């Protein structure tokens, strides 16, 4: 059937999630570093977003669908546990990150730094300041979530941690985010420990321009 092809620029946090999942399981893949809304992406994702994936005659979009397919199709450590309770915990945090954390920390905060829509291209101060209270709430709740055993779910490294790590990596590059994470009790240690994992190191993308 050939190798998995992951479609999307590696700087995308969601492309990174899919690559980390492959690395953690030892699944070989090739990456086609395409931007959103390019023809090969539009051919798979109805809104032209990344990541997309091809494996043989299967084409998929949505990082959760892609990582679940990879987890179920290949040997290696289970990213979503088989037991219903562990699986539900992982699903809960993946869903929460996708619907609450990514929209706040990535779409509002990070994009205001990395891709501002200001006339001179400077960081969008209004957008940044506006999102800081929600960010503080989210970082505090994530800090509580990893306090128990250093993982988000199921008592071990899972897909939930894979979704969170790229977001923390980027948030740490911006001043308010770095300060908030550094001031938290458990998140700095959580990030440092999982950043040492081979799957994280092997998939860390090149820096965004200007960072
Ligand atoms: N829910 C999607 C989100 C994908 C997504 O938002 N990707 C971003 C890059 S990180 C994108 O393609 N953005 C372009 C756009 O929104 O038009 C997933 O998990 O794959």
Residue nearest to atom 12 of ligand 1 (CA): 49
pLDDT score of 187: 98
List residues near ligand 1 (CB under 6 A).
12-14, 36, 49-51, 62-64, 98
Q: What is the mean pLDDT of residues 163-168?
A: 98
Q: What is the mean pLDDT of residues 72-80?
A: 98
How far is 86 from 91, CA to CA, in rounded Å? 9
> Which tens digit of pLDDT belongs to each residue from 115-139?
999 999 999 999 999 999 999 999 9
- In the structure, how many helices (H) and strands (E) does the chain have? 10, 4
CB 129, CB 63: distance < 8 Å: no
> Which tens digit of pLDDT belongs to each residue from 82-94?
999 999 999 999 9
pTM: 0.98
pLDDT score of 207: 84
For residue 60, the surrounding DSSP H or E stretch is strand 58-61
Average pLDDT, the chain: 97
How far is 97 from 92, CA to CA, in rounded Å? 9
Residue nearest to atom 2 of ligand 1 (CA): 62
> Which tens digit of pLDDT belongs to each residue from 2-60?
899 999 999 999 999 999 999 999 999 999 999 999 999 999 999 999 999 999 999 99
Residue nearest to atom 13 of ligand 1 (CA): 49
pLDDT score of 1: 77
Compute the distance from residue 148 Cα to the ligand 1 centre, in Å. 31
Residue nearest to atom 3 of ligand 1 (CA): 62
Q: What is the mean pLDDT of residues 100-113?
A: 98
Q: Which residues of 94-118 are buried (b: 16+ CB within 10 A; e: fewer)?
A: bebbbeebbebbbebbbebbbebee
pLDDT score of 157: 98
210 pLDDT exceeds 70? Answer: no
> Which tens digit of pLDDT belongs to each residue from 65-75?
999 999 999 99
- Percent pLDDT > 90 in the chain is 97
pLDDT score of 209: 65
CB 36, CB 7: distance < 8 Å: no
208 pLDDT exceeds 80? Answer: no
């Amino acid at each position: 059937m050939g190798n998995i092809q992951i479609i999307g620029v590696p700087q995308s946090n969601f492309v990174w999630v899919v690559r980390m999942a492959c690395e953690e399981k030892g699944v070989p893949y090739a990456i086609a570093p395409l931007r959103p809304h390019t023809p090969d992406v539009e051919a798979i994702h109805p809104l032209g977003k990344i990541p997309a994936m091809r494996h043989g005659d299967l084409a998929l979009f949505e990082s959760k669908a892609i990582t679940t397919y990879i987890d179920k199709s290949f040997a290696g450590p289970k990213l979503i546990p088989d037991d219903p309770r562990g699986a539900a915990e992982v699903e809960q945090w993946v869903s929460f990150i996708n619907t609450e954390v990514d929209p706040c920390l990535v779409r509002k905060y990070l994009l205001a730094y990395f891709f501002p829509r200001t006339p001179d291209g400077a960081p969008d101060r209004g957008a940044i300041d506006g999102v800081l209270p929600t960010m503080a709430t989210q970082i505090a709740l994530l800090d509580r979530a990893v306090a128990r055993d250093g993982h988000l779910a199921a008592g071990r490294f899972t897909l939930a941690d894979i979704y969170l790590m790229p977001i923390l990596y980027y948030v740490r590059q911006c001043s308010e985010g770095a300060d908030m994470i550094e001031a938290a009790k458990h998140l700095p240690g959580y990030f440092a420990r999982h950043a040492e994992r081979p799957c994280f190191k092997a998939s860390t993308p090149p820096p965004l321009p200007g960072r």
